[in-house]
Amino acid sequence: MSYQLSKQDKLKEILKSGKDPVYFIKNYCKISHPMQGLIPFRLYDFQEDAIRDFNDYRFNVILKARQLGISTTAAAYISWMLLFHRDKNVLVVATKLNTAANLVRKVKHIFRHLPDWMMISKITIDNRTSFELQNGSQIKASSTSGDAGRSEALTLLVVDEAAFVEGMDEMWAGLYPTLSTGGRCVALSSPNGVGNWFHKAYTEAEEGKNDFNPIKLKWGVHPDRDQEWFEKETRNMSRREIAQELECNFNQSGEGVLHPSDMENVQRGLSEPKYKAGIDRNFWIWEEYQEGIEYLLAADVARGDGKDYSVFHIWRLDTFEQVAEYQGKPSLGDFATMTFDASKEYGFCLTVVENNSLGIAVLEKLIDREHPNLYYSIKGTHEYVNEVEAQQRSNSIVGFSTTPKTRPLIIAKLEEFVRNKLIKINSSRTYNEMTTFIWHNGRPEAQRSYNDDLIMALAISCWVRDTALVVNKRELEYKKAMLASISVSSTTFDSKIPGMHGYKKNNDMFRKPAKNPQREYAALLKG
């Protein structure tokens, strides 16, 4: 007890506490327990290890389950830093100011219940979201929308619930320079899907690709929790809630459009391309053209703001396996040339281009080059028609129209294909976009700072194969049956007119596959 200590003993305790944050916290810090009230902060082993890591490493990233007391542990460490060191500047950041301010209040609470003789530096300035000590050390709370701390050197930056901070990449870029003089950072959070700053920081830390020390704290690290506790706790929780709240599982914790188990199936099927062609080597090829096989090319054209890509996929229609893919940022003219050449390499396969503002420009270039197999549809219906029929109708439109009405339909078709294993995706680029394709305010879209160009071309591919082409094939079979039931007519047909009976493809236009595919594909896309 403090009243039993002599002045000399108190001095020894102060010196000992100042050297060891764990000793200080275990012996002098008190916290509020929801059932027991004010109690000494008896650190669990995992909390003690975290304190040691805070002191040993400049940068720590903590992937944690809920209700492990890590925020309180951080508050206790901050208390030690402020009390026993001069001129320290601590900034606490969270999505909401109140969340950040709550951690500041925990620090104040610890100070209020220290023995008077241990409080060697008094609070001189006390505000709701900040306070300052006589020794010049201070702490501030800020929301991520604010600019606090960006103009001053920080001793310690604490980012609470970092996975839920929108624009964390930009915020980190702005705050990182404030740590350049030796400042430290503790970023802590439960998982919130993949692709965000916290996910990247933690996974790269595990791989040794950044300066962060990774700390993973799943529900089982708490000594009072066992399997019986887990089963009782999760009885009424969803799979996503369990992953996020307890298991520290990134893949199953987010609001991904595609189910994690389906994504695991996709991941197992990925493979390296046989060739990487084109001047930028961004045209990936898994299978060259095979005589007698029908293919489909689906393209999505970049908006033109430099943030997204122009892409296309090529699929085998019999197995619906991905055989080729392009992703890059060429000019519209070069991309039109690439699309034309790639379609030609695969027997002038049906070519579907999203007819957004810049997509129309690409389509016009393909039409100028007399591409013989472009996708047309009846405006407002997505009912596929061939070019001959399209030219005879006033309500036909070239290309594929993605609208607020059709977007959910094609995404639903994509989800159906992936869930039922009706598609074989080979590309890691496509898979990576699928992992960051989430529900945001009820709309399926790429997570902030990521792209969905390959996803949209993929969704269009699924829709066209399962609707337009199936319907078209059914109608063709019906027409063949009708013609077969009619006696042979004496009418003559011009075999040179596309769509007429007896029409044959021009050998110059529909050339055979290259004898040396590797060399031919390397020359492809040169424009």
DSSP, collapsed to helix, strand or coil, labels residue 130 as strand
Q: Taking the C-alpha atoms of 80, 85, 89 and 95 in order, what is their torsion angle to the nearest 10 degrees?
A: -10
pLDDT confidence of residue 502: 42
Distance of alpha carbon 517 from alpha carbon 304, whole angstroms: 32
Residues 175-194 have pLDDT tens digits of: 999 998 899 999 999 998 88
Task: Name the amino acid, one letter, at 184.
Answer: R
Residue 316 pairs with which residues in a beta bridge? 295
Q: Which of 194, 152, 150 is nearest to 173 (CA)?
A: 150
pTM: 0.61
pLDDT computed for residue 486 by the predictor: 52
Residues 157 and 445: their CA atoms lie apart, in Å, by 31
Domains of the chain: 13-254 (3.40.50.300), 271-484 (3.30.420.240)
* pLDDT computed for residue 430 by the predictor: 97
- What's the CA gap between 99 and 183, in Å, rounded? 22
Place of tokens 């194969």: 465
Query: Does residue 366 contact residue 340 with C-beta atoms inside 8 Å?
Result: yes
Contacting residues for 302 by C-beta, under 8 A, at least 6 apart: 308, 309, 310, 329, 358, 453
What Rg do the C-alpha atoms of the chain give, in angstroms?
31
**Separation CA 79–CA 109 (nearest Å):** 10
Identity of the amino acid at 399: G
What string of pLDDT tens digits covers the 527 residues of the chain?
Answer: 445 789 999 999 999 999 999 999 999 999 988 778 899 999 999 999 999 999 999 999 999 999 899 999 999 999 999 999 999 999 999 988 999 999 999 999 999 999 999 999 999 999 999 999 999 999 999 987 656 556 678 999 999 999 988 888 888 988 999 998 899 999 999 998 888 899 999 999 999 999 999 999 999 999 999 999 999 988 888 777 888 889 888 766 667 788 777 888 999 999 999 999 987 899 999 999 999 999 999 999 997 677 789 999 999 999 999 999 999 999 999 999 999 999 999 999 999 999 988 999 999 999 999 999 999 887 766 677 777 777 778 778 899 988 887 888 899 899 999 999 999 999 999 999 998 888 776 678 887 778 999 999 999 999 999 876 665 555 545 545 555 555 444 344 344 444 444 444 443 433 334 444 444 444 444 43
Residue 72 — φ and ψ, nearest 5°? Answer: -65, -40
Beta bridge partner(s), residue 321: 424
Q: What's the pLDDT at 30?
A: 94
